[in-house]
Structure 1
Amino acid sequence: MSKVLTAYEERHLTLMDELGNSSDIRVLAENRGPLVTAYGDAQTVAEKLVQRFGVVLDASLQSHFLRFRNLACQWQTTSADRPLTGEFGLKNLYTSITTGPLEILRDFPSEADRRLASGLRLLDDQPEGGAGSFAALRIQPGRSFPEVWYFTVAHGFQELDIGYADYLDLLLTTKGVYDWQYLFADVSLRETECNHVRNRLTGMLNLFPGIFPECDYSDLRARLRERM
Structure 2
Amino acid sequence: MSKEFTAYEERYLALMDELESGAGVRVLAEERGPVVTAYGDAETVLAKIARRFDLVLDPSSRSRVLRFRKLACQWEISGPGPTLAGEFGLKNLYTSITTGPLEIAQDFSSAADRRLAAELRLLDDQPEGGAGSFTALRMQPGVPLPEIWHFTVAHGFCRLDVGYAEYLDRLLVTKGTYGWQYLFADVSLRDPEFIHVRGRLSAMLSVFPKLFPEHDYSDLRARLEARA
SS of 1:139's equivalent in the other structure is strand
Give 2:217's aligned residue.
217
Q: CA deviation at 1:80?
A: 5.1
| Counterpart amino acid of residue 139 in structure 2 | I
The equivalent residue for 1:145 is 145
Asked if structure 2 preserves the Cα contact closer than 8 Å seen for 1:58 and 1:144, the reply is no
SS of residue matched to 2:143: coil
Q: Number of matched residues?
A: 228
Corresponding residue number in structure 2 for 1:47: 47
Structure 2: any 5+ residue segments left out of the alignment? none
The one-character-per-residue Cα deviations of 1:149-191 (angstroms, maximum 9, x if unpaired) are: 0000011000001111000000110011001000011111112
Question: Paired residue for 2:193?
Answer: 193
Partner residue in 2 for 1:105: 105
Report the alpha carbon displacement of residue 34 of structure 1 after superposing the two structures with TM.
1.0
Q: Is the 8 A contact 2:147 2:163 kept in 1?
A: yes
Give the whole-Å Cα distance in 2 for the aligned partners of 1:98 and 1:210: 41
Contact 1:56/1:142 (8 A) holds in 2: no
Tell me which stretches of 4 or more aligned residues in structure 1 moved more than 4 Å: none
1:49 alignment partner AA: I
Instruction: Give the whole-Å Cα distance in 2 for the aligned partners of 1:7 and 1:25.
Output: 25
Deviation at 1:78, TM superposition (A): 3.5
SS at match of 1:38: coil
Q: Amino acid of the residue matched to residue 170 of structure 1?
A: R
Asked if structure 1 preserves the Cα contact closer than 8 Å seen for 2:58 and 2:165, the reply is no
Q: Is the 8 A contact 2:3 2:35 kept in 1?
A: yes
Superimposed CA distance per residue, residues 170-224 of structure 1 (whole angstroms, 9 cap, x where no aligned partner): 0110011001000011111112221110100000001100001011111111111
SS at match of 2:104: helix
Question: Retained in 2: the 8 A contact 1:20–1:26?
Answer: yes
* Aligned twin of 1:135: 135
**2:124 alignment counterpart:** 124
1:143 and 1:130 map into 2 onto residues whose CA distance is: 30
SS at structure 1 position matched to 2:5 = coil
Measure the CA separation in 1 of the matches of 2:49 and 2:174: 30
Return the offset for 1:142: 3.7
Indicate the percent of aligned positions where both proteins have the same amino acid: 69
> What amino acid does structure 1 have at the position aligned with 2:164?
Y
Task: Note if 1:164 corresponds to 2:164.
Answer: yes
Q: Distance in 1 between matches of 2:5 and 2:70?
A: 15
Structure 1 CA distance for aligned equivalents of residues 188 and 81 of structure 2: 27
* Runs of 5+ unmatched residues, structure 1: none
Normalization by structure 2: what TM-score?
A: 0.96
Q: TM-score, normalised by structure 1?
A: 0.96
Give RMSD over aligned pairs. 1.3
Going from structure 1 to structure 2, the CA distance change for 1:198 and 1:58 (only over 3 Å counts) comes to closer
Displacement, 1:81? 4.0
